[in-house]
Chains A and B, each alone.
Chain A
Amino acid sequence: MLVLSRKVGEAIKLSDDIEITVLAVDNLRVRLGIRAPRHINVRRTEIVDSIGQANREAAVVADPAVTNGILTKAASEKKKQE
């Protein structure tokens, strides 16, 4: 990991078109301003990791012995609730 020291108001560039500026530092919280092209996804790491973990837990083996009938039963149950 590359570690850089920056003061408030200073920035770093990632290639030519992404710039991250330190806007404020308050106790343990750092506010960052990010300029990037619209196609660059900027996400909080913990949210991305949380969604990835939820997806890994949701993955199933596409084997009829495992999947057969479950969504049919779910659809039937859902209809009952309506």
Chain B
Amino acid sequence: MHSNIAEEEITAEAIRDKIIEFRDGLPGFPRNHAFVMTQRPDEKPFVWMHSVTEPLLAFALVDAYAWEKDFTLEVDDAELEEMGSLDPMDYAVYFILRIVRQDDRTTLEAKPDAPVLVNIRNRQAKQVTSLNRSQRIPDALCVRH
């Protein structure tokens, strides 16, 4: 059984500037469970995700549906159940971005096959593995200085 989270406008206002919890830690950072998402209006649809445990640790994220309007996430129901809701409308979905700086440009590289889900009602978060690997998602945005 899978749930299809189709393109839908999901507001993330409910989680902005509040602590979200990765119960199992963020992969690669197992001791970091609590993060805060911040966003200035002119940064939308991008957000910063700051670690509460290590204040100097942060990640750039982007709203998955803004990055690719046709993005569809297929995820195991067990993942959603663990996060407290089977309703796709309860979730904001983000891609973590790798920031690569070069001489005259900065490239933001996404990893669409491992999106971050945040339950906007209970603020539980988890980085999941997308089961739908056949869709073509742009994986980079180039910004010139």
Contacts and interface: CB of A to CB of B under 8 A. Distances in A.
Interface residues of A, number: 30
B78 interface: yes
Interface string A32-65: 0000001101010001100111111111111100
Contact of B28 (A41, A47, A56, A78): A56
Interface in B34-70: 40, 42-48, 50, 55-60, 62, 66-67
Contacts of B45: 75, 78
B48 A62 contact: yes
Contacts of A72: 40, 42-43
B98 A54 contact: yes
Contacts, number: 100
Contact of B43 (A47, A57, A58, A71): A71
Given A61-B56, A67-B48, A53 B40 contact: no
A42 B22 CA distance: 17
Interface residues of B, number: 39
Contacts of B66: 78
B141 A74 contact: yes
Given A55-B27, A75-B42, A77-B141, 11 more contacts: A51-B129, A52-B28, A58-B60, A58-B99, A60-B60, A62-B57, A62-B58, A70-B99, A72-B40, A75-B44, A78-B46
Interface of B: 24, 26-29, 40, 42-48, 50, 55-60, 62, 66-67, 78, 81-82, 96-99, 106, 108, 111, 114, 127, 129, 141-143
